[in-house]
Amino acid sequence: MYGQRSQTLPQPMFNSPMIQRAQTHGYSLPKKSRGRAVPVRGVMSSAPARASPLRDIPTEIGLEIVELALLSTPSTILALVSKKFNALVCKMIYKTVILDRLSRITLFHRTVLSKSLEFLGTHVLTLAVTSRSYTTEARIQLEQIVAACTGLRTLAIPRPGILASGVISRTRPIELIIQKFDAMTPFEWDPLFAQEIVVSPAARISQNLTRLRICEPGQVWHSPLETLEFFGSLPGLTHLALARHVNPYGGLNDGAFVSEIRTLLETRPELKMLIVSLFPAAWPRQVPATFSLCGHSCICKALIRLADTDKRLVVLATGWDTLLEPDKDPRSPFPPHVNHGSARLGVVSFWENWRMSDKRVVAFTTGWEPEIVADAVKWTYPTVPTELSDGSNFWGNWLTLPN
């Protein structure tokens, strides 16, 4: 009404007589007074809040707790906790990647294409390729995977052929583990990849190597010096492991092998350890529990005498599990495999205690979810002669040896 004090009122949400009268006569609605807070017994406390005990635990224990959580909780759920926690989970998931079948090679290749080079270079520190079969497509995918993971410290592969690719020359691991140093063509998996002969095709990727391990003797003879020539000069090599059959082909090349081991010890003073793993003469269909490595063949005696003169040489007796069966695919790069399902990561010396058997490792499943794989299987070793060192417990300390 004219002459009255103007007042802005909220629009009514429903037809209330009180609101209508207020608009007509110009008086204000009663204001709600702010009540005084009444303390509730047992809810509010004047005592200062206690800090979480988790803040005081050592970092190593905290990481163990997260790893245990990963065993029972999908990583995608843990990654939603916070950005910092997501970053921590990613570091744990991608730190060690095991590709044990073609489908996982394809899946991780897809992951590599979706991640930045900076992410892959700082997260993927160990890559183990343990697939029992390969295709041309898988070979190309592996080259791109290794090329993208420039921060690799440890690379484990069944054959050395992929190392000759110029695509992966920017990746410089410090440890290289190879199951066998042979292939269908010199240093290659497949004749389709045969290229012109290069003296040291893996020289670039091997520039920073300090540890090189050839785990099993191959089907094709390559002398120790010929094997190292493939990797170039290896200026930083401090630990070298080679493998040899006992009495192959009636002792053929035994003398040449021992002579070149002596040459390596004489010409490489920077070598702190040279390991020779001795295997039985051939792959048996079944190795009885009472099987003994001879310890008395020409090469055994010669290597033991050489080890007596140079303590850097370690001669290991190496054996197989007592239950073995021949591989069904004669072209497979793997030796006979254990005929029970618990051996998920492979067979024989290459997979037994290959440095990570005492740790939880990550593999990529057929889906997008990473999977925590249990500890690698510990193998049963045959009886070892007293003159030879037992290789069954040796490789667990392979990387803990001083540089």
pLDDT at 46: 56
Low-confidence ranges of the chain (pLDDT < 70): 1-55, 70-76, 78-82, 183-198, 247-251, 280-298, 318-403
The structure tokens 């592969």 sit at 157
Among 135, 168, 361, residue whose Cα is nearest residue 351? 361
pLDDT at 196: 56
Flag whether 233 is in a domain: yes
Residues spanned by the domain of 166 = 57-397
Flag whether 140 is in a domain: yes
Cβ atoms 66, 78 nearer than 8 A = yes
pLDDT at 316: 79
- Token readout for 246 is 């006992």
Q: CA-to-CA distance for 308 and 310, rounded, in angstroms?
A: 6
Residues 6+ apart with CB under 8 A from 172: 150, 152, 204, 205, 207, 208
Flag whether 50 is in a domain: no
pLDDT at 153: 92
CA distances from 177 to 19, 159, 211, 345, 395 (A): 84, 9, 8, 14, 12
Flag whether 147 is in a domain: yes
Flag whether 29 is in a domain: no
- pTM here is 0.66
Number of structural domains in the chain: 1
Q: CA-to-CA distance for 100 and 274, rounded, in angstroms?
A: 29
pLDDT at 304: 84
pLDDT at 190: 45
Q: How confident is the model over 149-182, as pLDDT tens digits?
A: 999 999 988 888 888 787 888 899 999 988 888 7
pLDDT at 359: 33
Flag whether 34 is in a domain: no
Flag whether 160 is in a domain: yes
Flag whether 78 is in a domain: yes
Residues 6+ apart with CB under 8 A from 177: 128, 154, 155, 156, 157, 213, 215, 350, 354, 355
pLDDT at 264: 97
pLDDT at 326: 33
